[in-house]
Structure 1
Amino acid sequence: MSDYQHRARKRFGQNFLHDAGVIDRILRAIRAKEGERMLEIGPGQGALTEGLLGSGAQLDVIELDRDLIPILQGQFGDNPRFKLNQGDALKFDFSQLQAEPHSLRVVGNLPYNISTPLIFHLLDNAELIRDMHFMLQKEVVERLAATPGGGDWGRLSIMVQYHCRVEHLFNVGPGAFNPPPKVESAIVRLVPHEVLPHPAKDHRLLERVVREAFNQRRKTLRNTLKALLPASAIEAAEVDGSLRPEQLDLAAFVRLADQLAMQPGNAD
């Protein structure tokens, strides 16, 4: 372990995990095994890295903060199963890992400011990924795992659940980190569906419908979607246009997107 103590940086949203009990609980939830392909995003000072390598897995890590590179290399660089990639995970090309389909296991204590765009970036590569375990702000995990009808149900819930099964595993208090964040955290498991339960004709149109619907979530679908879909198309999707968007499940949004795909200008 290096004598050099790295100070957490606000601009990278760094809060380093130090609670041994929480680290152990996360590692037990992941259950990494020998020979598996693991990717850790934002390893920080290596709190989880050590345990992941100890499993015998092949581990790539992506770290943005240049000051952490020598610390991580000093701790783990001698291990032939460890590979350090310095850079921004939001711009990382996951295909360069040359992982087999559905083999990559992704882990990360994600900075709150990049968690949502990073999850969407990973979902663009969902065919490579077996599962993902993330430490996130608790309210983000609640939105990921939400069900229709509540205030947490929205664009993030729908688009992530389109691609993945979501499990809110357990919560983590601020005291597990240094410095302690001002919010509660939680661990979530995302498992990409090998076969989508509700495949859309065009998932970009699904994103468009969901974004428009929740832009004004207090309005009815008839009002919020009127620029995209006439009332007759909403009816043809077997959706009640007088409902608000949070009252619809994923399957209903896919039916609306498929109606949009048949509108002039969108049809193939």
Structure 2
Amino acid sequence: MGKVNTPKRGGAASNSKPYDRNQSTAKSSAAPKNNVFKFNKDFGQHILKNPGVADAIVQKADLKPTDVVLEVGPGTGNLTVKILEKCRKVIAVELDPRMAAEITKRVQGTPLQKKLEVILGDVIKMELPPFDVLISNTPYQISSPLIFKILALPNPPRTSVLMFQREFAMRLTAHPGDALFSRLSVNAQFWARCTHIMKVGRHNFRPPPQVESSVVRIEPKLGKDRPNVSWQEFDGLLRICFGRKNRTFRASWSTKEVMSMIEKNYRIYCAMNNIPVEEGLVEGAEDADDLDDMAVDNDIAGTTAGNDDDEWGGIMEVDDGDDDTPEFFKEQKTTLPYKTPSRRKKTKLGEIIREKVRKVLEDDTELADQRASKCDENDFLRLLFAFNSEGIHFA
């Protein structure tokens, strides 16, 4: 009687081919995964997957049944469907056509379909439709432009609940003297009330980002509480003040780029108000650029550490030991000029502008030796009022 052909333990059956096991393994590994598509990190696509966090964001927005909500970067719609249940309409602005198609497909055939409008485009470049509340798991690369765009709107939303990178959220709520205090901090807190709501770990996203996140609620000041100040004027002033936030105002406002900009704006102001402008050169005066550089150079020694605009963030220490420099180079160092003299001559209008700036910083506000990182919004308002009184504008 013949022997029964039984398969060995852990082996393949006798009637199977040698590569059947490998082929089945290859097929299982090549089976399509549940992912819809590969996320594009260039667009900052990190999808919020934790439903608890999404519920908390919607709750903090205090939505009303009549609200129109603008959502920036809805992704696959995990947060969108929760917003749709609480409001009248959601306007979702999405840059990626794949995401726009996915979120449209998600609500198709449901009662939520009529409440969703998807706009394909860049929220920073487009003109926004009217809306009441802004909710967004914000792509990190547009965080700052989005904030400035929302605050500059003539009719800003009642509430904005936004997800940001943790450090950016800390900048929004920083105070004078803090290391993260910046132009963004002043603008955001001058035009709105900013509240840090909660921290969100990176494992709540798919794929996980490399940084931690935070949720911030921004409530713009409306009606009588909204400052009666031009947004362009105030932000233009802050751009100059925070160009080097740890330099004194005397140094920040004396650079040739700033003086040239102020002179140009002053000419426009005079032309619009029929004020004659004195033209011509100042004879026998030093070059204007030389004095600009001297003011900046004298202030470098007073620059404090932690300046995020400087390469080193402070003054590098050097050894006080013996100098091994050859005598020949020491003599050349003392005889050669420090810099090439500038060819730009002083103009009469330039001298008028310089005197106006000096008067504002030293006489009117006494802020010449202050630094932007230490000033509050009242100091910047005093600066703006004093400059405007002298006919210097920034819009």
Q: Name 1:64's counterpart in structure 2.
A: 95
Once the 2 structures are TM-superposed, how far is the Cα of residue 199 of structure 1 from its aligned partner?
3.6
Pick closer, same or farther for the CA change 1:181–1:130 going to 2, 3 Å: same
Q: Does 1:207 align with 2:235?
A: yes
Q: Of residues 367, 370, 380 in structure 2, which corresponds to 1:243?
A: 370
TM-score, normalised to structure 2, is 0.62
Higher-Rg structure is: 2
Q: Of residues 43, 59, 67 in structure 2, which corresponds to 1:36?
A: 67
Q: How does 1:138-153 map to 2 (within 5 A)?
A: 138-153=166-181
Pick closer, same or farther for the CA change 1:265–1:214 going to 2, 3 Å: closer
Q: Name 2:361's counterpart in structure 1.
A: 234
* Separation in structure 1 between the aligned mates of residue 144 and residue 362 of structure 2, nearest angstrom: 32
Match for 2:185: what amino acid?
Answer: S
* Separation in structure 1 between the aligned mates of residue 196 and residue 366 of structure 2, nearest angstrom: 29
Q: Name 1:89's counterpart in structure 2.
A: 123
Offset from partner CA, 1:182-230 (integer Å, 9 cap, x none): 1110000111101346543x33232222111111122111221234662
Q: Does 1:218 align with 2:246?
A: yes
Q: Name 2:220's counterpart in structure 1.
A: 192
* Separation in structure 1 between the aligned mates of residue 84 and residue 170 of structure 2, nearest angstrom: 30
Match for 1:186: what amino acid?
Answer: S
Pick closer, same or farther for the CA change 1:177–1:204 going to 2, 3 Å: same
* Runs of at least 5 residues in structure 2 that lack an aligned partner in the other structure: 1-33, 263-355
Once the 2 structures are TM-superposed, how far is the Cα of residue 111 of structure 1 from its aligned partner?
0.9
CA RMSD of aligned residues (A): 2.1
Number of positions where the alignment pairs a residue of Structure 1 with one of Structure 2:
259
Richer in strand (by share): 1
- Which fold has the larger relative contact order, with Cα–Cα distance below 8 Å and residues 6 or more apart in sequence? 1
Whether the 8 Å CA contact 1:198–1:251 is kept in 2: the answer is no
Whether the 8 Å CA contact 2:75–2:100 is kept in 1: the answer is no
Offset from partner CA, 1:155-175 (integer Å, 9 cap, x none): 111112222111111111100
Offset from partner CA, 1:134-166 (integer Å, 9 cap, x none): 000011111111111111111111112222111
Q: Does 1:55 align with 2:97?
A: no
Whether the 8 Å CA contact 2:156–2:220 is kept in 1: the answer is no
Offset from partner CA, 1:10-49 (integer Å, 9 cap, x none): 1101111001221222122123221211111110011110
Whether the 8 Å CA contact 1:126–1:163 is kept in 2: the answer is no
TM-score, normalised to structure 1, is 0.89
Whether the 8 Å CA contact 2:171–2:182 is kept in 1: the answer is yes
Offset from partner CA, 1:47-100 (integer Å, 9 cap, x none): 110110111431111111001122111112442111111111112211xx345x
* Separation in structure 1 between the aligned mates of residue 195 and residue 362 of structure 2, nearest angstrom: 33
Match for 1:22: what amino acid?
Answer: V
Whether the 8 Å CA contact 1:58–1:81 is kept in 2: the answer is yes
Q: Does 1:26 align with 2:57?
A: yes
Whether the 8 Å CA contact 1:135–1:185 is kept in 2: the answer is yes
Give identity over the alignment, percent: 28
* Separation in structure 1 between the aligned mates of residue 188 and residue 200 of structure 2, nearest angstrom: 22
Whether the 8 Å CA contact 1:77–1:83 is kept in 2: the answer is no
Q: Name 2:11's counterpart in structure 1.
A: none
